[in-house]
């Protein structure tokens, strides 16, 4: 054996809202997969010639923990071994070894995803993509090329300093590619569309172990599928995006509020009256418990992409409420996310916490439903103090640029959405009473808010999916037949099927 390191480089990044996950499964995606009993995974991995920077670790070692620690411990996959390939050739070899020996695996850019379908993998192989962290900015072509080890926050300063910007999600810690594969919603989708709409091309390791290029002009069907259902088709090892020159020097007007219970109804009615929002205006609203007073409150952030005078005009209904302002500032584009809510990103991105989430899309804003949701959150916090770190989050994101792109151009199905809601449940996993109450409330809130969402049934952005939804509710009924056909072509044995996996036939 050539040089083989058993000490892994510590990973200092984690993946969000939204991540790469891929796996090998011998049966239907709903089944639990384990390493076949006759396979000696240690021997399979160690009896190979690896590059010097490919690292391997096994259960029980600190190195193993570093590369398998997850953002949430709820419904987590388990592993017997982990490998961090240092070269594309080693990554291809790993995929072929896993296929040959029928070893189930997940290849991840940071383990920030939370769909419960991932928990069906037991004692498998973790493929850590942290070594693929290249970032190349071409100012002439106005493109950015990154590997799956590059998180969203890594791109802010390089792009801003070079005079560019790109649509991003709401958190800095996810892998940029991981967010992209599900579509990539965010504050700028009204101006620039989805993150996946900026995608120019990818290089991907397919189920056969080949590295192929996909773009609108080459393997165009695969490129269509990747933009909205990408975790089902392979491991993206590089992705190239088109960029936008900074507008108004990249300035974003930001105002944040804390709204007490007695003014929450008035605030909700104002939000409803402002729909549809201008393309440049977006908001994130949290219904949570104040850690000091233990009172239920609303925290809200509004951002306007552009000059302050235009921002104040667009925000006039909110500004006229004369609410308690906790922050009002002009943020440079590269600081917008990290400055939100007093630097909340440190808490949002913290790993190894029990989190369970239910999420759904909306087209309509409904003040009366928000009132009812506030009341239910208030009662929940009062009765279950172990759940007071939980948050009901609303993302009010306009969709003008997103909706302007024809629906059939990508696999992403929900271009008419104007918002996303999730109930982020945080509780001690030893507190079964709070856990049960949280899940019951999550399902109840989902039913309530879907009823006034503007959709006839539950719909959910795949990166936000809980894992109990129907395929039609994640991928869209009109997309599934084509996605299934492409799944049969590119992954007939469904080896990439743990992240809300697709079938090879539909219906």
> What was the pLDDT predicted at 110?
74
> What was the pLDDT predicted at 8?
32
Give start-end residues of each CATH 3.40.462.20 domain in the chain: 250-464
Pairwise CA distance, residues 230 & 501, whole Å: 10
Q: SS3 sequence, 446-507? A: HHHHHHCCCCCCCCCCHHHCCCCCCHHHHHCHHHHHHHHHHHHHHCCCCCCCCCCCCCCCCC
Is the pLDDT at 25 greater than 80? The verdict is: no
> What was the pLDDT predicted at 111?
83
Is the pLDDT at 249 greater than 60? The verdict is: yes
Pairwise CA distance, residues 194 & 161, whole Å: 22
Is the pLDDT at 437 greater than 50? The verdict is: yes
What average pLDDT does the segment 472-486 reach?
98
Please write the tens of the pLDDT for every residue from 272-323. Answer: 999 999 999 999 999 999 999 999 999 999 999 999 999 999 999 999 999 9
- Pair 256, 331: CB distance under 8 Å: no
Question: Exposed, middle or buried: residue 135 (CB in 10 Å: 0-12, 13-18, 19+)?
Answer: middle
Pairwise CA distance, residues 99 & 377, whole Å: 47
Question: 351 or 314: whose pLDDT is higher?
Answer: 314
SS3 assignment, position 388: coil
Answer left, alpha or beta for residue 66, where phi above 0 means left and psi between -120 and 50 means alpha. alpha
Pick the CATH number of 135-246+477-490 from 3.30.2130.30, 3.30.465.10, 1.20.1250.20, 3.30.1340.30: 3.30.465.10
Give start-end residues of each CATH 3.30.465.10 domain in the chain: 33-128, 135-246+477-490
Indicate the helix (H) or strand (E) that contains 281: strand 281-289
Average pLDDT, the chain: 92
| Domain covering 250-464 in this structure, CATH number | 3.40.462.20
Pairwise CA distance, residues 460 & 115, whole Å: 12
> What was the pLDDT predicted at 31?
56
What average pLDDT does the segment 365-383 reach?
98
Is the pLDDT at 28 greater than 70? The verdict is: no
Architecture of domain 33-128: 2-Layer Sandwich (3.30)
What average pLDDT does the segment 468-483 reach?
98
């Amino acid at each position: 054996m050539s040089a083989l390191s058993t000490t892994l480089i510590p990973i200092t990044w984690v993946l969000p809202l939204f991540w790469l996950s891929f796996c090998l499964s011998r049966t239907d995606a709903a089944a639990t997969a384990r390493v076949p009993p006759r396979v000696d995974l240690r021997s399979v991995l160690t009896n190979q010639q690896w590059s010097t920077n490919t690292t391997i670790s096994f259960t029980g070692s600190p190195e193993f923990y570093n590369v398998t620690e997850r953002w949430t411990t709820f419904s987590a996959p388990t592993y017997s071994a982990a490998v961090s390939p240092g070269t594309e050739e080693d990554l291809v070899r790993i995929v072929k070894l896993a296929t040959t020996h029928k070893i189930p695996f997940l290849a991840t850019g940071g383990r920030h995803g939370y769909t419960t379908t991932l928990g069906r993998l037991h004692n498998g192989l973790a493929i850590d993509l942290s070594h693929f962290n290249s970032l190349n900015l071409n100012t002439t072509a106005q493109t950015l090329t990154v590997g799956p080890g590059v998180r969203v926050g890594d791109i802010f300063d390089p792009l801003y300093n070079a005079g560019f910007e790109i649509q991003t999600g709401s958190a800095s810690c996810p892998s940029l590619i991981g967010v992209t594969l599900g579509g990539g919603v965010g504050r700028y989708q009204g101006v620039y569309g989805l993150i996946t709409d900026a995608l120019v091309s990818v290089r991907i390791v397919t189920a056969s172990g080949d590295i192929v290029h996909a773009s609108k002009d080459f393997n165009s069907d695969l490129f269509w599928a990747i933009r909205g259902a990408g975790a089902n088709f392979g491991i993206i090892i590089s992705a190239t995006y088109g960029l936008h020159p900074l507008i108004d020097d990249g300035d974003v007007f930001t105002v944040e509020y804390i709204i007490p219970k007695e003014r929450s109804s008035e605030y909700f009615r104002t939000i409803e009256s402002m729909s549809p929002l201008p393309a440049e205006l977006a908001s994130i609203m949290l219904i949570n418990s104040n850690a000091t007073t233990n009172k239920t409150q609303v925290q809200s952030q509004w951002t306007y992409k552009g000059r302050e005078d235009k921002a104040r005009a667009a925000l006039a209904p909110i500004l006229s409420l004369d609410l308690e302002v906790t922050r009002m500032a002009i943020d440079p584009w590269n600081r917008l996310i990290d400055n939100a809510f007093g630097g909340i990103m440190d808490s949002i991105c913290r790993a190894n916490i029990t989190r369970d989430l239910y999420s759904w899309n909306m087209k309509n804003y409904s003040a009366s439903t928000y009132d009812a949701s506030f009341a239910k959150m208030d009662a929940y916090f009062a009765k279950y103090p172990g759940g007071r770190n939980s948050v009901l989050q609303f993302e009010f994101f306009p969709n003008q640029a997103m909706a302007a792109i024809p629906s059939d151009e990508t696999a992403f199905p929900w271009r008419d959405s104007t918002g996303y809601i999730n109930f982020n449940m945080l509780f001690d996993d030893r507190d079964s009473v709070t856990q049960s109450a949280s899940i019951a409330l999550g399902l109840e809130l989902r039913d309530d808010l879907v009823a006034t969402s503007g959709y006839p049934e539950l719909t959910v952005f795949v990166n936000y999916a809980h894992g109990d939804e129907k395929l039609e509710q994640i991928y869209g009924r009109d997309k599934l037949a084509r996605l299934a056909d492409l799944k049969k072509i590119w992954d007939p044995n469904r080896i990439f099927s743990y992240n809300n996996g697709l079938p090879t036939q539909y219906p």
